[in-house]
Amino acid sequence: MQQRGDAPLLISIVGPTAVGKTGLSIALAKALSAEIVSADSRQFYRGIPIGTAQPTAQERTEAPHHFVDFLSLEEEYSAGRFAAEAVDWLQGHFDERASQGLQPVAIMVGGSGLYTQAVQDGFDDIPADPAIRAALNAQHASEGLLPLLEELARLDPEHRKTVDPANPHRVIRALEVCRSSGQTYTALRKQHSEKRQCLAGGWSRSEGRPWDTLTIGLGAPREFLHSRINVRTEQMIENGWLEEARQVMHMRHVNALRTVGYPPLFEVLEGSMEMDTAIRRIQETTRQFARRQLTWFHRQPCVHWVDARHPEQAEELVQNFLRDGRI
């Protein structure tokens, strides 16, 4: 079985929301004296730490985090831009650790599959057409999202199954690619994932990336995951999520607040929905979101799945890999 050389290593932790990725990433970061890159597109934004389950101040003292809580709510931030900035940070970080005689290793954690894939495989040649994007935005403004979802279902039914229907930005981006290229978004993403070479030792390499990647997927039985989602939702409400929503309600039109959880809370604040109903709605939409995330990551190559009920198995897997140079 092939063993790894001395290339830098990116440990990527993926999986559905609420499964325990943050806890695992911090445990690994402490064990390896490593730093964490967040690839959760919801956690990039300032002012919404509760509703996006950002790592707490205490957790950030336990391990350095990057790409968390750094954008204004109005700012658009694409997977391509994230990849460019994260790759630049990773390359500098690996060089710095190597110059200090430290093992060049970093941890990336997040449930935004498009963003983790962009860092691993690149995203530079996905077509973009500002004129088409402007037309789609205008159509969304005048007709709403439903006609765009219907068009996406016709042009790229596979991507329609996994895209967040509450996220106009993602829907419009996929349609922009379909209209401008004549290809499906799914096919172009597949071309990128095919740049990734899964090696017999258990890690992967991608064209244009000067590091190796070990990807750990956290999964769990549905009942376990649903229970965690339900409990976490109630804890977030107890921690002040409704007041957080009140503070940003005047900006409810921005894409960052069209994410899971905020729309029902805005309705509570308007008096058009009872709190109990909102909690059930949030739990339901979060479970749906988790299913889409699992669908995405189970289609990705080179993922080593670990039962989230036993995160110590993931820690052991990583430590053994670093010791032996293979799984």
pLDDT at residue 239 tops 90:
yes
pLDDT at residue 124 tops 80:
no
Q: Count of domains in the chain? A: 3
Cα 243 from Cα 166, distance rounded (Å) = 22
178-183: long-range pairs with CB below 8 Å, 24+: 178/152, 179/129, 179/132, 179/136, 179/155, 180/127, 180/128, 180/129, 180/132, 181/127
Residue 36 counted as domain residue:
yes
Total Cβ atoms within 10 A of residue 193: 15
pLDDT at residue 14 tops 60:
yes
Same-domain pairing of 68 and 19: yes
Residue 137 counted as domain residue:
yes
Total Cβ atoms within 10 A of residue 79: 21
pLDDT at residue 225 tops 90:
yes
Same-domain pairing of 252 and 313: no
Q: Indicate the residue type of 172.
A: I
What is the mean pLDDT of the segment spanning 182-191? 79
* pLDDT-derived band at 194, boundaries 50, 70, 90: low
**What length is written for the chain?**
327
Residue 192 counted as domain residue:
no
Instruction: Give the best-scoring range by mean pLDDT among 2-11, 163-172, 188-197, 214-223.
Output: 214-223
Q: What pLDDT does residue 192 have?
A: 64
Q: What pLDDT does residue 2 have?
A: 55
* pLDDT-derived band at 327, boundaries 50, 70, 90: confident
Cβ 254 vs Cβ 248: under 8 Å: no
Cβ 262 vs Cβ 286: under 8 Å: no
DSSP strand pairing (212-219 vs 196-198): unpaired
pLDDT at residue 38 tops 90:
yes
DSSP strand pairing (196-198 vs 204-206): antiparallel
pLDDT at residue 125 tops 70:
no
Residue 297 counted as domain residue:
no
pLDDT at residue 307 tops 70:
yes
Same-domain pairing of 163 and 254: no
What is the mean pLDDT of the segment spanning 228-246? 98
Q: What pLDDT does residue 103 have?
A: 93
Same-domain pairing of 274 and 206: no
Q: Which of 56-65, 194-203, 290-299 has the lowest mean pLDDT?
A: 194-203
Same-domain pairing of 136 and 104: no
Cα 168 from Cα 148, distance rounded (Å) = 9
Residue 17 counted as domain residue:
yes
The answer for residues whose C-beta is within 8 angstroms of residue 246's C-beta and 6 or more apart is 269
- Mean pLDDT, the chain, rounded, equals 92
Exposed, middle or buried, 289 (CB in 10 Å: 0-12/13-18/19+)?
buried
Q: Which of 192, 203, 218, 213 is nearest to 298 (CA)?
A: 218
Same-domain pairing of 235 and 94: no
Domain CATH number, residue 153? 1.10.20.140
CA angle 140, 282, 83 (to 5 degrees): 60
Same-domain pairing of 216 and 246: no
Owning domain of residue 134: 130-186
Q: Indicate the residue type of 50.
A: I
Task: Name which residue leads in pLDDT, 184 or 277.
Answer: 277
Residue 147 counted as domain residue:
yes
Same-domain pairing of 114 and 142: no
pLDDT at residue 168 tops 90:
no
For residue range 88-123, what is the model confidence (pLDDT) as tens digits? Answer: 999 999 999 999 999 999 999 999 998 999 999 886
Cα 244 from Cα 51, distance rounded (Å) = 8
Q: Which of 113, 116, 118, 102 is nearest to 35 (CA)?
A: 102
Cα 42 from Cα 45, distance rounded (Å) = 7
Q: What pLDDT does residue 135 have?
A: 84
Percentage of the chain with pLDDT > 90? Answer: 69
